[in-house]
Amino acid sequence: MSDIEIRQEGRAGRITLNRPKALNALTYEMCLEIEAALDAWRGNDAVALVLIDAAGDRAFCAGGDIAVMYETGTKGDYTYGQKFWRDEYRMNAKIAEYPKPVVSLLQGFTMGGGVGVGCHGSHRVVGETAQVAMPECGIGLVPDVGGSGLLAHAPGRLGVYLGTTGRRMGPGDAIYAGFADHFVPQADWPALSAELVETGDAGAVQRAATSAPQGDLPAMQAEVDRLFAPRTLAGIITALQADGSDFATDTLKRLGRGSPLAIACAIEMQNRLGPNSSIRDALTLEFRFTHRAPEHSDFLEGIRATIIDKDKSPKWRHDGLTNVPAEDVARMLAPLGKDGLKLEEELT
Catalytic residue among 33, 53, 65, 144: 144
Task: For residue 61, list its beta bridge partners.
Answer: 110
What whole-number distance in Å separates Cα of residue 323 and Cα of residue 343? 34
Specify the DSSP class assigned to residue 183. Answer: E
Say what the pLDDT of residue 348 is.
45
Catalytic residue among 108, 112, 113, 138: 113
Where exactly are the structural domains of the chain?
4-346
Tell me how far apart the terminal alpha carbons of the chain are, to the nearest angstrom. Answer: 33
Query: Phi and psi (nearest 5°) for 49?
Result: -155, 165
What whole-number distance in Å separates Cα of residue 10 and Cα of residue 8? 7
Is 144 annotated in the active site?
Answer: yes
Residue 323 carries which side chain, given as an amino acid letter?
Answer: N
Give the ranges where the chain is alpha helix by DSSP (H).
Answer: 28-42, 67-73, 79-96, 113-118, 147-153, 158-165, 171-177, 189-199, 203-208, 217-227, 233-243, 246-255, 260-273, 279-296, 299-303, 326-332, 343-346
Is 136 annotated in the active site?
Answer: yes
Query: Phi and psi (nearest 5°) for 211?
Result: -70, 135
Q: How many CB atoms lie within 10 A of CB 67?
A: 13
Number of alpha carbons in the 13 Å side-chain half-sphere of residue 312: 2
Which contacts of 301-308 are long-range, i.e. CB under 8 A and separated by 24 or more positions?
A: 301/140, 302/138, 302/139, 302/140, 302/141, 302/259, 302/262, 303/66, 303/69, 303/70, 303/139, 303/140, 304/70, 306/138, 306/139, 307/66, 307/67, 307/70, 307/139, 308/70
Is 3 annotated in the active site?
Answer: no
Please report, in tens digits, the pLDDT of each residue of the chain (348 residues total). 699 999 999 999 999 999 999 999 999 999 999 999 999 999 999 999 999 999 999 999 999 888 889 999 999 999 999 999 999 999 999 999 999 999 999 999 999 999 999 999 999 999 999 999 999 999 999 999 999 999 999 999 999 999 999 999 999 999 999 999 999 999 999 999 999 999 999 999 999 999 999 999 999 999 999 999 999 999 999 999 999 999 999 999 999 999 999 999 999 999 999 999 999 999 999 999 999 999 999 999 999 999 999 999 999 999 999 999 999 999 999 999 999 998 865 554
Catalytic residue among 13, 63, 64, 108: 64
Query: Phi and psi (nearest 5°) for 330?
Result: -60, -35
What whole-number distance in Å separates Cα of residue 239 and Cα of residue 20? 42
Say what the pLDDT of residue 84 is.
95
Is 64 annotated in the active site?
Answer: yes
What whole-number distance in Å separates Cα of residue 221 and Cα of residue 272? 21
Task: Give, in order, the Cα–Cα distances in Å from 65 to each of 22, 85, 171, 325.
Answer: 9, 12, 24, 31
Catalytic residue among 35, 53, 88, 136: 136
Task: For residue 111, list its beta bridge partners.
Answer: 133
Report the relative pairing of strands 109-111 and 59-61 from DSSP bridges: parallel
Specify the DSSP class assigned to residue 64. Answer: B
Specify the DSSP class assigned to residue 115. Answer: H
Say what the pLDDT of residue 1 is.
67
Nearest to 236 by CA among 245, 227, 226: 227
If you compute the radius of gyration of the chain from its CA atoms, what whole number of angstroms results? 19
Report the relative pairing of strands 12-17 and 4-9 from DSSP bridges: antiparallel
What whole-number distance in Å separates Cα of residue 249 and Cα of residue 236? 13
Helix or strand or coil: residue 144? coil
CATH for the stretch 4-346: 3.90.226.10
Supply the DSSP string of 291-307, one letter for each residue.
HHHHHHSSHHHHHIIII
